[in-house]
Structure formats: structure tokens, C-alpha cells
Structure 1
Amino acid sequence: MPTRSGSARYEGFGKDGNGWTSTQSGVLKDQRYGFGSRFEDGPGTNPEELIAAAHASCFTMALSFALAGAGYHDGTLETDARVTVDKDGDGFTITSSKLELKAKVPGIGEEEFAKIAEGAKANCPVSKLLKAEISLTHQLSN
């Protein structure tokens, strides 16, 4: 499987700093982010909305494949994810990702659908990442 990448650059520090983020695919190219876009209503993106988009798209695709595997081949899935960040002592913690799904799958019963959807939620790679070990390497130059 290929490795995907994203990058971020931040100039200045704290509330006065400005950041830019990019993705390997180029979908995001030097997209602005900073304190204003993260904690206020300023222009630009923020990590939480990017996680929300990743979680919604990953879960929806996982559910699509699970439904196809169960013999369903027609329908529509629409997922909104709401990622919450809360103040935690001196910092912040992402405390939840709430998936809100609207689905149209002809011929499926509620119980079967709920079981397949829960399996997709538990097994989509982004859901697993949100519980994963995170590693860090660094290099400091003066």
C-alpha cells in the first residue's frame, strides 16, 4: 500500500504565528491556518476540520465496501463528521469525532444495516488511527 503525506509550516509562534498546510495530492497547497481559523472564525482551515473530513470520507468508503460485500450494490451514503476540541488544563484535547450518517440502501433491514455500519465505524483506518500509537522523530537546527 502507498504511503500518503501531508505537510505543515508555521512562521512565528502562538497567536501571532501563521501556518500553511499542503497535501501530497495537491488538493491542499499552502492552505492557510492559524489561531484565528482554529479557535475563532478566521479564514483558513484547521486540523480538526481536516480530521473530520478524513474520518467522514474513510468511514463512508469503508461502509460502501462493507455493503457491497454483503450483496448491496445500489444506494447513497452521506456522512458528516463533527470533531470536537476542548480545553484541557494548559492545552487542548480532541475529545470526540461524531459521525452523522444518512443512508439510502434499498432492500436492507435496520438491524443488518446497523451491524454493518458499526463494523465500518470500528474498522475504517481513520477510526483506528484515532486510537493508534503516534511516533515522532525530530531534528533541531539553530
Structure 2
Amino acid sequence: MPPDAGAAAHFRALESLYAAAPINRLFASRLEIPEPGIARISFDLDERHFHAAGAVHGTSYFKMLDDAAFYAANSLVTDRFLLTTAFNLLFTKPLKAGPVVAEGRWASGRRRVFVADARLIDADGEEAARGTGTFMRSQIPLGELPGYRSR
């Protein structure tokens, strides 16, 4: 079911917020929120993301899983920025250079604490990692963040 106009504007504003985050100058990526509770981040990995043994370092796994789960949860909250309070990560396959998609999905909670899952899918369509995060409402109003704006 397509989101209503208010929800769609919120999703576009969250996508702008993601694009404006300074950390994403180091991790070229694109966020898409197609519906409430769902977030997808497309990104490419290359040798800049490798550890000494020639595979992708865990920082890339964590960052993209956390972001996908976070934005899936924050898609359900229109007034406040959420904060990650815990995140569990399971590595299931080493990632190589190439395109990857992080898929986030809200799992539970709607008041103060939210739980969302995420997984990384490599270019072959195989899962490389999964994680679960816990997020809580902060005192930071979304509307006051410089990147949060409708396109």
C-alpha cells in the first residue's frame, strides 16, 4: 500500500537527512524508504573498505545495518530523531568489492523503544550479515535538523 502524502513527505525528508549526514561522505550510499517500517540503502564497496586480509572491514557492515534498521524505525516517528541504544550483529559471509543493499525492517515497538532488523545482501543475492537494533526517542526534534526537509 503506498504511503499517504504526509508519510511520503516524511520519508523524503528522512532520505534528505541521510544524504546530508557528514559520515556519508565516507560511505557513498543512497537511502530509499518505500513504505512505513521499511528502509533500503544501496552502496558500493571497494578496496577502501578492506581490512589487511583483503575483505570488507566490519565497520562497513555495522554502519549500513545500523542505518537501515534505524531509518526503518524512524520512518514511524515524525517528530523526534531516534538514537541507537543497542545493536547485535551476525556476520554470515565475507563481503567483497561490489554493490550491496542493506534492507531494514521495523519489528516491534511504537512508543518509546523500537526494535528493527536489517540484513546485507551482496551482488549475488546472498545474505552477508544481519543485525537487530534497539532505538529510542531522543529529545532532538527532526524538524530542527538541517538535513531534514522535503524535496
Q: Please, what TM-score do these two structures have when normalized by structure 2?
A: 0.32
Q: Which has the larger radius of gyration?
A: 1
Q: Please, what TM-score do these two structures have when normalized by structure 1?
A: 0.33
Higher helix share: 1
- The structure with higher relative contact order (CA 8 Å, sep 6+) is 2
